Structure 1
Amino acid sequence: MSATSLPTAATAAAAKPKDRRRRKRRDLVGLLYVLPAMALVVVFFVVPIGMTAWMSLHNWPLLGVPRFIGLGNYVRMWSDAGFWSSLRFTLLYTAVATVAIFAVAFPLALFVERPRPLGALFRTVFFLPVVVGFATASLLWVWLLNTDSGLFAPAFQALGFTPQRVNILGDFGTAFPAIVAMVVWKVAGFTMILLMTGLQGIPGDVVEAARIDHAGPLQRFRFITLPLMRRTLGLALILCVTGSMLAFDQFYIMVAGGPRNQTVTAVYTIFNQSFVSFRLGYGSALSIALLAILLVLSVGQLWLLRDREDAR
C-alpha cells in the first residue's frame, strides 16, 4: 500500500461511524413522524381486534358476568345454518355488486380520462354520489322506490313495464337488483377515480408505439392497459370486495333483511347476535371468522393480480 493511500483509508474509516450516526438520527426522525399514525392504528385497530378475539372465547352477555368457554363459540358457528346462509348471500351480493361496479366505473374512467370539453364537470357529476353517506343514500332510494310517493313504481307503470304499481322492495327478485343499483350509483364514482388514476399512469409513448404497430383499441386495452393497471385494479378490487363483504347499512335501512330474511348479510347476522340477542361473545366469534375470510380473499386477489416481475 502506498503512503498516499493511507490518509484516504483512514478518512473513510473515520467517516463510517459518522454515517452510521447520521442514519440512526434519520431513522429516529422518521420513527417520530410515524408514531402518531402508529398510535392511532394500535388504539383503534389492534386493541379492538384483540378485545374482540378475547370476547369470542367467552359466553359474554350484555348484562352479567362473562364465562370462559374456549372455542365453544366457534364450534357453535359451524352448525349455525343462519350464519352460513347469510355468508352465502353476502358472497353472492359481493360477486354481483363488484362486477356491476366495475362494469360502470371502467367505461366512466375511460370517458373522463381523455381530454374533452367539460371534462372536469363530468368527473364532478360522476363523483358526487360518493360524498353521500350510505345511510342517507339508502333513505333517498327508499323514497324513490316507494310504491305511492316514489319515482320508479309510477314510471314503470306509465312505461308499461308493470300493469300496476308494484312494491319493488317487497320481493327479492326486484329488491336485490334495486339495492345493487343503489350501491353502484353510490360507489362507482370512487372506483372511477381510482381507475382513472391508473389510466393516467400509463406512459403515452407505449400507447403511441402500439398505434404505430397498428394495434387496435381492443389489442391495446388487453395487452397494454390491463397489464399496466394491475396494481390499480388490485386496489380497486380489494376495496370493492371488502366493502361488499361488510355491507350492512343498505340492507338494514332499505329492506331490514327482508323480504323473508332473504337479504340478511354476514354483518347483519353479527349485529343481530350481538345487539339484538345480546350474545356479544358469539357475535365476536362471527366477527373474527369474517375477518379471516376477508384476509383470505384479499391475499388471493393480490396473488392473482401480482406483477410477473414480483412473482419472480
Structure 2
Amino acid sequence: MSITAATPLAVAKPRRRARSSRQWQGLLYIAPAIVLVKIFFVIPVLFTVWMSFHNWPLLGEPSWIGLGNYTRMFSDTRFSAALSFTAYYTLIATIAIFALAFPLALFVQNERRGVSAYRTIFFMPVVVGLATASLLWVWLANVDSGLFSPILRMFGVTGRSANLLATFNNAFATIIVMVVWKIVGFTMIILLTGLQSIPGDLTEAARIDGASRWQRFRFLTLPLMRRTLALALILSVTGSVLAFDQFYIMTSGGPQNRMISVVYYIFNQSFVSFQLGYGSALSIVLLGILVALSIVQLWLLRVGDDK
C-alpha cells in the first residue's frame, strides 16, 4: 500500500481559494459604503470640477471658460481677505482650544471622586449643534435681553450696556469664546485618550529616577502623545478652516464684512451672487487646502516611526 504525499502546489491552491473567498466577502461587506462614497462624494466632486471650468449662471446655459475662474482668484481681493481672516481665525481658535483642552485633560485624567461628573460637564457643549450654539450666544450677547451685558456691568468691565457683536474685536472675541466652549470638550476627550494610553509603569519609573513633574511631561508625556496631538491638531485646524455657521448666524460677516471666512465667501458667490462656476472653483481650491492638511496629518503621524 503506497501513500502519495501532497505536493506544495496542491496545498497552495485551496489556501489561495480560501484567501480569495475571504477577500470577496470583505469586498461584499464594504460595497454599500463604496457606493455611498461614489454617490455622495466622488460624483459631486467630479461635477464640481466640471462646473469650475464654466461660467455657470443660475439661469441660462453655462459657457466654457477653461481656467478663467481659477485665474480670477489671483485678482479677487475679497477672496484674499477671506483667506487671511480664515488663517487668523484658525490660528487663534486652535491655540485657545489647546490652551484649555490640555489642562482639562490632565485634570480629569486620574480616577477620583467626581471625575466622571467633570468629564460629562466639560463634554456636554459638544452635543449641542454649532448652529444652535451660535443662536444661543446671539441671545446671550444681546445688548437688551442678553446675560453678558449685565454681568460685565456688574463686575465693572463696562459702564453701560455693551453690544458684544457691534465691533470687530468684541465680535471676534465672543465667537472665539463660543467656539472654545463648544469644541474644547471634544479635544479634551481626544487628549485624554492619549494620556490614558501611556503606561503607568513608565511614569512611575521616571518619578523614581528623580524626574520632576515638568521633566516627565516634557520628555515622556509629550513624545508618547505625538500621534494623539497630531490628530487633535488636524481636526481642530480642519474644523476652523471650514467655519461657517458662527459667522453667518452671529455676525452675518460683519462688522464691515471683516468676518467672512472662505466657506462663507463660497456661499455668497454661489448662492447670493449666483456665480456657481466661480463658487465651484473656490470649492476645489478649498478641497486642495484640506488635502494638503491631510498630507500634513499623515506626515505628523509618521514622524519618528523609524527612530
Q: Same fold (TM over 0.5)?
A: yes
Alignment correspondent of 2:164: 168
- List, as ranges, runs of 4+ consecutive aligned residues in structure 1 with deviation greater than 6 Å: none
Distance 2:34 2:223 in 1: 34
Task: Choose from 276, 280, 294 the match for 2:290.
Answer: 294
Alignment correspondent of 2:102: 106
Q: Deviations 1:241-284 (Å, cap 9, x if unpaired)? A: 01100000000000000000110100110000000000000000
Q: Deviations 1:109-130 (Å, cap 9, x if unpaired)? A: 1111210111211111111101
Query: Which shows bigger deviation, 24-33 or 129-138?
Result: 24-33
Aligned-pair CA distance for 1:189:
0.7
> Structure 1: which 5+ residue stretches go unaligned?
none
Distance 1:206 1:39 in 2: 46
What letter corresponds to residue 263 of structure 2 in structure 1? V
Q: Does 1:21 align with 2:8?
A: no
Distance 1:254 1:77 in 2: 27
Aligned-pair CA distance for 1:305:
5.0
Q: Match of 2:111, SS? A: coil
Task: Choose from 260, 266, 283 the match for 1:264.
Answer: 260
Structure 2 counterparts to residues 139-288 of structure 1, below 5 A: 139-288=135-284
Task: Choose from 2, 23, 38 the match for 1:42.
Answer: 38
Q: Match of 1:115, SS? A: coil
Q: Deviations 1:178-233 (Å, cap 9, x if unpaired)? A: 10000000011111111111111111111111112111111111111111111111
Aligned-pair CA distance for 1:304:
4.0
Alignment correspondent of 2:62: 66
Q: How many residue pairs end up in the alignment?
A: 306
Distance 2:256 2:202 in 1: 54
Q: Is the 8 A contact 2:231 2:297 kept in 1?
A: no
Alignment correspondent of 2:81: 85
Q: Deviations 1:58-102 (Å, cap 9, x if unpaired)? A: 101111111111111001111100001011000000000011111
Q: Match of 1:170, SS? A: coil
Distance 2:164 2:197 in 1: 42
Aligned-pair CA distance for 1:173:
1.1
Distance 2:202 2:38 in 1: 43
> Structure 2: which 5+ residue stretches go unaligned?
none
Aligned-pair CA distance for 1:54:
0.8
Structural RMSD (CA): 1.6
Distance 2:297 2:58 in 1: 37
Distance 1:83 1:185 in 2: 29
Query: Which shows bigger deviation, 246-255 or 35-44?
Result: 35-44
Aligned-pair CA distance for 1:48:
1.2
Q: Percent of counterpart pairs with the same letter?
A: 62
Q: Is the 8 A contact 1:112 1:119 kept in 2?
A: yes
Aligned-pair CA distance for 1:19:
0.8
Distance 2:17 2:127 in 1: 47
Q: Is the 8 A contact 1:230 1:306 kept in 2?
A: no
Task: Choose from 108, 123, 126 the match for 2:122.
Answer: 126
What letter corresponds to residue 232 of structure 1 in structure 2? T
Aligned-pair CA distance for 1:12:
3.3
What letter corresponds to residue 263 of structure 1 in structure 2? M
Q: Is the 8 A contact 2:227 2:300 kept in 1?
A: no
Q: Match of 2:302, SS? A: coil
Aligned-pair CA distance for 1:11:
4.2
Q: Deviations 1:150-198 (Å, cap 9, x if unpaired)? A: 1111111121111211111000111101100000000111111111111
